[in-house]
Amino acid sequence: MSRKFDRTELPALETALPVTPAPGDNKLRHAVRELRALAERLRTDENLPFYSMRVLAKHLQLPLRTVALAIEQLEAEGLLLRLRGSHTKLLGKNAQTMQKIAGVIGMPVWIFGMRHFIYRRHIALLMGDALWQHAISIDTILYWEYEDLDQDFIDRLLRHRIDMILWFQPLRHNLEAINQLKDRGVRSLIIGDQEMPNMPAQILIDWEPAYKTVLPHWKQTHGIRKIILVEGTRHTTPRLRFFEEVASRHGIVCVRQQSSPELAGQLAGAKPLPISTAIALFDDHASTEFSLRNPEAFLKLAERHRILFARDVPSIPFCPPDSLSCERLAYPVREIVDSTSEMVMAWRAGTEIPPIRLTGMVTLDWRNPSWM
């Protein structure tokens, strides 16, 4: 005979959870939303027995399998706990984790960027080491291209049971996720660029001083009069617009070229560009595409024209460093890591501090003996 549990601590399900129709194509998301709201509404300081899955399925008029998957997701979020052969518990607010840590910070990391770019890897590694000094664990959440556009991405982040989330240069479409996480009690710490005025960054990287160093150097030392801006996705537009404004103040004309696999070959073709023309790479995809798709054309351009890697340097294994005529804009990695630790500890202490402004770094006539 199966065991029965007294659930008198919880109100009758009929009064606690009004039945609303589930969308025909999204029953699981509906179940998660309804049960999450129910659990958060009934939660107390102590653990309580929760309604059985069969009772919930019957009440919500949903398949038992759908309710089981919803409860599995809420268990990953730390609201419920399933006991094998027993029942489901509603976890109390005072429930303790086994780990001896002060908190968990989620850090979404784009797999493409982690694979191809040097400084993104450094920041991810150093951030984990720095925050662990304060007993705070970094939970690195890898995602593929466009995966962060899906509504399910927010649910995936929440399943990691994070206390806070750290965004490194999020894009405009990530604002929806940031706002939804805020509504669910997860605060976002954003490391962003000054060129993205609609992104409310707590750590702001100012690239204008770096631009003001590169542009006079190009004009006075190398006679640059024109810059080709390799335009990638729509996300580069604010950055390119700002760079164009700074360049125009120095009397340098900017011309945008849409990135394509053939672009490097076209620019290095039979009719060479004037030596007074430089190339600037801002977009992640455009930078790797321009550098890696046609190695012979890239090397030909790099020997003759100044190239600006304007955010991060891709790994270019075939390229001898002495053949490059390039400048590099780099993230102030150590300052970013230290500022993040400062902001996180202030927030944990209940203190609000003003946004921290950092200056992007620049290296002229850059040489790197190792591209990997």
pLDDT digits (tens, 9 = 90+) for 275-320: 999 999 988 888 889 988 898 998 889 888 999 998 777 877 776 6
Strands of the sheet containing 80-82, edge to edge, are 48-49, 88-90, 80-82
Strands of the sheet containing 187-193, edge to edge, are 136-143, 103-110, 164-168, 187-193, 203-206, 356-359
* Cα distance between residue 183 and residue 199, in whole Å: 17
3-state secondary structure of 168: strand
203, pLDDT greater than 80: yes
Q: β-strand 136-143 against 103-110: which pairing, if any?
A: parallel
* Cα distance between residue 53 and residue 18, in whole Å: 16
Mean pLDDT calculated for residue range 78-82:
82
Q: Could you give the angle at which helices 174-183 and 151-158 cross, rounded to 10 degrees? A: 50
* Structure tokens that stand for 36 in this block: 């999450």
CB 239 within 8 A of CB 282: yes
pLDDT digits (tens, 9 = 90+) for 100-149: 567 889 999 988 888 888 778 888 888 888 888 778 888 899 998 888 88
* Cα distance between residue 336 and residue 107, in whole Å: 14
The residue ranking higher by pLDDT, 366 or 69, is 69
